[in-house]
């Protein structure tokens, strides 16, 4: 396969609102990211994906953009952004922007114009119909909102304040490409593309994901913007299957570098209630999905390797018994880090941040609030509803980054916009930095190993599943020429028999016996 420089990247996702507040407004900001560049460089990451920092009324925490070319004042200014891009670059760190172009905010100039009437030149930037159909919004309720004035409905996959753009309109598409080029010219070296699967939607046919023109638009975008440069792009697709993901990532098609797929997560969701009613994690199912992406014939379709994001609960809370938080967080990261693909680290996972308890009035996320009401309306018991929302709410991952054990976890001097996890007194960066045996120290070690003499093997070597039928051990081998490494992960809180030979190059315990200890990970070279 053709090698690209971005194959070597290790991406760190920053949720800017909750990363580091230097202005004292209770929201994280761009200068706060600049302040932590040394920390990020030391961690070893080479690319920062920033969740949206553009002008926004924040109905969906910045995923409702009202001006794509302006930084929202809560985060700072455009100058701050240009400064971040250039300072990061001096450290060999790229900036990946979040491209939210399925929809805008209803406060965007285009929508403000479009809603003036049917003859407005911007009307066709959005999707208007005389009649609605049964399509539902992901944030629940109808996907259509009635506009009294023009007596038409407009379409929105998310909140009614997030009207969907009409990608069938070539003028709109060119506006988007211009905007992307504006940021490329300002030094952006990557794009994470929000809900890219929806761009080709055909609402009349009840089709939202993977519509007929989807790949034509993505190819066009590639050609008009990042295609000629070595820019790293990752599309978000909740619908992607083995087959459809190859369309996005086949290098000959000139679309995207890679996509985020979620089947390893959604397979545990309920058919009707989705993530609000999950079933127990099953390692065999998980392995099947993760391993199939590593098959040799799939090698040219580049992969993403991730455990958490701003849309998912904290990974350590999701997969690990809380009494084993520390070893568990280490094992989870190492488990992904030696697979082929690009590792993504969600802020705070490198110190083992966890889910927390929210009272109902403490939720900030529109999705959790709507789901709570929906489940109660459907007649579910209040306690069950609260328990399920707590488990899956996106608020879990959006709490302020825990830097120190001082007030507000060192995130801000003022009361933060959302709840701080009370465990900041024991889980924080300072404490992790002061311990040789910390999760943070282990992350650094893993990243160093991935970048070491094993880099080519990890990126391009052959993959083979080991102990495939084992219910609690995930293990695999990577091989390139004479070089071989084997990775063994115990996903359970029980000691588990496993025979391992070779020279140990990584271990999250001090020793290795006949049995793998709870959540033990061991990497050996042969």
Q: Name the DSSP class of 103.
A: B
Residue 386 within binding range of ligand TEU, rule CB under 6 A: no
**Considering the complex, what minimum distance in angstroms separates the CB of residue 238 from ligand TEU?**
5
**Considering the complex, what minimum distance in angstroms separates the CB of residue 160 from ligand TEU?**
13
Please give the residue whose beta carbon sits closest to ligand TEU in the complex: 63
- 236's tokens: 């978000």
Binding mask 393-412 vs ligand TEU (x if CB under 6 A, - otherwise)? -x------------------
Question: In this structure, are residues 44 and 451 in contact, taking their beta carbons and an 8 Å threshold?
Answer: yes
Question: In this structure, are residues 473 and 491 in contact, taking their beta carbons and an 8 Å threshold?
Answer: yes
- Among residues 60, 80, 194, 210, the one annotated as catalytic is 194
**Considering the complex, what minimum distance in angstroms separates the CB of residue 126 from ligand TEU?**
16
Report how far apart, in Å, the C-alpha atoms of 364 and of each of 12, 369, 395 are.
24, 8, 7
**Number of residues lying near ligand TEU (CB under 6 A):** 14
Nearer to ligand TEU, 31 or 162 (CB): 162
Residue 195 within binding range of ligand TEU, rule CB under 6 A: yes
Question: In this structure, are residues 420 and 31 in contact, taking their beta carbons and an 8 Å threshold?
Answer: no
Residue 155 within binding range of ligand TEU, rule CB under 6 A: no
Nearer to ligand TEU, 138 or 390 (CB): 138
CA distance 173 to 213: 13
Binding residue for ligand TEU, selected from 311, 349, 350, 395, defined by CB under 6 A? 311
Binding mask 257-296 vs ligand TEU (x if CB under 6 A, - otherwise)? -----------------xx---------------------
Binding mask 47-66 vs ligand TEU (x if CB under 6 A, - otherwise)? -------------x--x---
CA dihedral for 249, 253, 256, 257, sign (positive or negative)? positive
List phi, psi (to 5°) of 263.
-65, -25
Nearer to ligand TEU, 310 or 314 (CB): 310
Query: What one-character-per-residue DSSP string does 207-246 give?
Result: B-SS-TTHHHHHHHHHHHTGGGTT-EEEEE-SS--HHHHH
Binding mask 157-176 vs ligand TEU (x if CB under 6 A, - otherwise)? -x------------------
Report how far apart, in Å, the C-alpha atoms of 269 and of each of 20, 195, 208, 240, 425 are.
33, 19, 20, 16, 33
CA distance 514 to 500: 8
Question: In this structure, are residues 184 and 87 in contact, taking their beta carbons and an 8 Å threshold?
Answer: no
Question: In this structure, are residues 445 and 504 in contact, taking their beta carbons and an 8 Å threshold?
Answer: no
| CA neighbor of 230 nearest in space, from 196, 202, 264, 191 | 191
Binding residue for ligand TEU, selected from 100, 390, 498, 524, defined by CB under 6 A? 100
60 catalytic? Reply is: no
Site residues (CB under 6 A) for ligand TEU, limited to 343-372:
367
Nearer to ligand TEU, 194 or 255 (CB): 194
383 catalytic? Reply is: no
**Considering the complex, what minimum distance in angstroms separates the CB of residue 158 from ligand TEU?**
5
Binding residue for ligand TEU, selected from 48, 97, 138, 305, defined by CB under 6 A? 138
Nearer to ligand TEU, 17 or 394 (CB): 394
Nearer to ligand TEU, 398 or 450 (CB): 398
CA distance 354 to 457: 32
Specify the length of the chain in residues: 526
CA dihedral for 174, 11, 433, 517, sign (positive or negative)? positive
* Residues at the site binding ligand TEU, with contacts judged by CB under 6 A: 60, 63, 100, 138, 158, 194-195, 238, 274-275, 310-311, 367, 394
Where in the sequence numbering do the catalytic residues fall? 194, 236
């Amino acid at each position: 396969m053709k090698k690209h420089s971005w194959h070597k990247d290790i991406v760190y996702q920053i949720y800017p609102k909750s990363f580091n507040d230097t202005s004292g407004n209770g929201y994280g900001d761009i200068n706060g990211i600049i302040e932590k560049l040394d920390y990020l460089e030391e961690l070893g990451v080479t690319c920062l994906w920033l969740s949206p920092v553009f002008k926004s009324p924040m109905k969906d925490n910045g995923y409702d953009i009202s001006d794509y070319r302006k930084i929202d004042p809560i985060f700072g200014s455009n100058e701050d952004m240009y400064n971040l891009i250039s300072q990061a670059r001096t450290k060999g760190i790229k900036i990946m922007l979040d491209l939210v172009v399925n929809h805008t905010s209803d406060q965007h100039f285009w929508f403000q114009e479009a809603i003036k009437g049917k003859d407005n030149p911007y009307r066709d930037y959005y999707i208007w119909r005389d009649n609605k159909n049964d399509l539902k919004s992901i944030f629940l309720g109808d996907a259509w909102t009635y506009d009294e004035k023009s007596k038409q409905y407009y379409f929105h996959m998310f909140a009614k304040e997030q009207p969907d753009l009409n990608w069938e309109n070539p003028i709109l598409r060119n506006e988007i490409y211009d905007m992307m080029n504006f940021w490329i010219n300002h030094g952006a070296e990557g794009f994470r593309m929000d809900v890219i699967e929806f761009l080709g939607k055909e609402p009349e046919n009840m089709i939202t994901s993977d519509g007929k023109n989807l790949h034509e638009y993505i190819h066009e975008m590639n050609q008009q913007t990042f295609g000629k440069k070595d820019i790293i792009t990752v599309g978000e697709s909740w619908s992607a299957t083995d087959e459809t993901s190859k369309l996005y990532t086949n290098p000959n098609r000139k679309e995207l570098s890679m996509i985020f797929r979620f089947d390893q997560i959604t397979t545990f969701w309920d058919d009707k209630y989705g993530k609000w009613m999950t079933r127990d994690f099953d390692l065999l199912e998980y392995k099947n999905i993760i391993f199939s992406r590593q098959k040799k014939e799939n090698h040219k379709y580049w992969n993403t390797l991730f455990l958490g994001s701003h849309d998912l609960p904290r990974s350590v809370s999701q997969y690990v018994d809380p009494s084993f938080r520390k070893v568990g967080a280490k094992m989870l990261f190492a488990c992904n880090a030696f697979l082929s693909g690009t590792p993504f680290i969600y802020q705070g996972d490198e110190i083992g941040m966890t889910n927390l308890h929210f009272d109902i009035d403490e939720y900030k996320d529109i999705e959790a609030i709507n789901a709570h009401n929906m489940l109660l309306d459907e007649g579910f018991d209040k306690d069950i509803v609260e328990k399920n929302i707590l488990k899956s709410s996106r608020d879990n991952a959006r709490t302020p980054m825990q830097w120190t054990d001082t007030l507000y976890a060192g995130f801000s001097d003022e009361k933060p916009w959302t709840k701080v996890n009370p465990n900041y007194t024991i889980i924080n960066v300072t404490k992790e930095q002061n311990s040789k045996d910390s999760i943070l120290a282990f992350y650094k070690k893993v990243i160093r190993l991935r970048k070491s003499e094993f880099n080519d093997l990890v990126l391009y070597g052959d993959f083979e599943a080991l102990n495939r039928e084992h219910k609690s051990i995930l293990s695999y081998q990577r091989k390139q020429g004479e070089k071989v490494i084997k990775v063994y992960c115990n996903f359970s809180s029980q000691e588990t028999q496993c025979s391992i030979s070779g020279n140990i190059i990584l271990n999250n315990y001090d020793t290795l016996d006949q049995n793998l200890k709870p959540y033990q990970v061991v990497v050996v070279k042969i």
